[in-house]
Amino acid sequence: MSDFDSELDATGLNCPLPILRAKKAIAAMDNGQTLRIIATDPGSVKDFEAFCKQTGNELLSSGEEEGKFTFLIKKAA
Amino acid sequence: MSVRLPGPERRESILGASQRLFAEKGYHGVSIDEIAREVSVSPAIIYRHFKSKQVLYDAVLQRMSAQRESYVQTVINSGTSFEDVLTGMTQVYIKSIDENPDLLRIELQSLLDRNPATSDFFKNRWKSFTDYIEFSLNERLPYDTPNREVRILAAGLMFQGMLREALLQKYLQPEDRLVDVSLFELSHELVRLFLRAIGIEKSHLSRRAVISG
């Protein structure tokens, strides 16, 4: 069993596409479910922080490995 | 001659003056001596903060990228339709150039300088638009569209050319006939024409994207 409910591959895409696709993905999820996002745009770190802060969804984790940024977001109840 | 400033303030004044000079004359047209004269310090002081002109130039770019436009607000506030997001992004981009027209000048200088760091920096800024347009068209255009791939690429280029030209005309070669037209108004018309050209009618202008600030 994976530790997230949905996954979004936004590698190679520049803002606002990762955010926009995350917004759409989250809209289709149930409250409390989690979405894992993989991105390569370094600006996405700040963007997902701002996105979660403003939408109330919870940024559970954020990390970087070999130029790939991963974010785990929990849909607000 | 020079006023003693604390380190961070001195660094900031060097960066500010360098940005202006690089914008006006390009990387090769500016010397460390000239920057030193501009901020009324000796070249040695400049070298104490930045070990070479290239390092200083990279720091100017970095400072500009820290002020990079964020489209997060647009995505949160506007509808998720193609036209709303594109309109919102265009407004954010215009606002960032309006606040710092040096960006536009340095971009043009960098195209001629062929400095890889700068060209990546600016390519990346436009990539937000071309990515968005290409990705969205890829989702929308029927698979049997003639010349599909080239058409999608051309649409991204068309938009970039249109917006860049509007900014150039407005900020670098102001013309009488454009004086009374606001850039926002102009960009709305450009987006509308663009959508028509690529076969998407702007259906609900009332849900126009809102920008913050």
In chain A, domain spans: 6-74
Domain endpoint, select from B65, B81, B97: B65
Q: Does A17 touch chain B (CB under 8 A)?
A: yes
Residues of chain A predicted below pLDDT 70: 1
Judgement on whether residues B85 and B167 belong to the same structural domain of the protein: yes
Q: Does B76 touch chain A (CB under 8 A)?
A: yes
Q: pTM (2 decimals)?
A: 0.82
In the structure encoding, which two tokens stand for residue B153, read together? Answer: 């690429």
pLDDT, position A77: 78
Whether B192 is in a domain gets the answer yes
Judgement on whether residues B37 and B103 belong to the same structural domain of the protein: no
CATH numeric code, A6-74 = 3.30.110.40
Residue span of the structural domain in which B194 resides: 69-207
Instruction: State which residue of chain A sits closest to B90, comparing Cα positions.
Output: A16
Whether B213 is in a domain gets the answer no
A 10 A CB-CB count for B189 gives 11
Tell me how many helices (H) and strands (E) chain A has.
2, 4
Maximum mean pLDDT: which of B42-46, B73-77, B199-203: B42-46
* Closest Cα in chain B, distance from residue A1 (Å): 31
B61-75, B176-190, B198-212: the lowest-pLDDT one: B198-212
In the structure encoding, which two tokens stand for residue B118, read together? Answer: 């700068």
pLDDT at residue B204 greater than cutoff 70 = no
pLDDT at residue B212 greater than cutoff 70 = no
Q: B66 near B189, Cβ under 8 Å?
A: no
pLDDT at residue B115 greater than cutoff 60 = yes
Predicted confidence band of residue B206 (pLDDT cuts 50, 70, 90):
very low
Whether B1 is in a domain gets the answer no
Distance, in Å, from the CA atom of A20 to the CA atom of A18, rounded to the nearest integer, reads 6
The domain tally of chain B equals 2
Which B residues 54-73 touch A at CB under 8 Å? 68, 70-73
In the structure encoding, which two tokens stand for residue A30, read together? Answer: 């149930």
Judgement on whether residues B39 and B143 belong to the same structural domain of the protein: no
pLDDT, position B180: 82
Q: Which has more confidence, B53 or B68?
A: B53
pLDDT at residue B190 greater than cutoff 50 = yes
Q: How many CB pairs under 8 A join A and B?
A: 49
Tens of pLDDT, residue by residue over B135-184, are 999 988 889 989 999 999 999 999 999 999 999 988 888 777 777 888 88
A 10 A CB-CB count for B35 gives 22
- Domain CATH number, residue B48: 1.10.10.60
N residues, chain B? 213
The SS3 call for residue A32 is: coil
Preceding amide of A16 cis, omega within 30:
yes
Predicted confidence band of residue B199 (pLDDT cuts 50, 70, 90):
confident
Judgement on whether residues B80 and B148 belong to the same structural domain of the protein: yes
pLDDT at residue B76 greater than cutoff 90 = no
Cβ-defined contact of B70 to A46 (cutoff 8 Å):
yes
Distance, in Å, from the CA atom of B4 to the CA atom of A66, rounded to the nearest integer, reads 43
Q: Does A39 touch chain B (CB under 8 A)?
A: no
Judgement on whether residues B27 and B88 belong to the same structural domain of the protein: no
pLDDT at residue B122 greater than cutoff 90 = no
Catalytic residues of A: 15
Q: What is the ipTM of this complex?
A: 0.81
Domain endpoint, select from B15, B45, B65: B65
Whether B33 is in a domain gets the answer yes
pLDDT, position B65: 77
Predicted confidence band of residue B33 (pLDDT cuts 50, 70, 90):
very high
The SS3 call for residue A49 is: helix
pLDDT, position B201: 65
Domain endpoint, select from B65, B92, B111: B65
Judgement on whether residues B142 and B172 belong to the same structural domain of the protein: yes
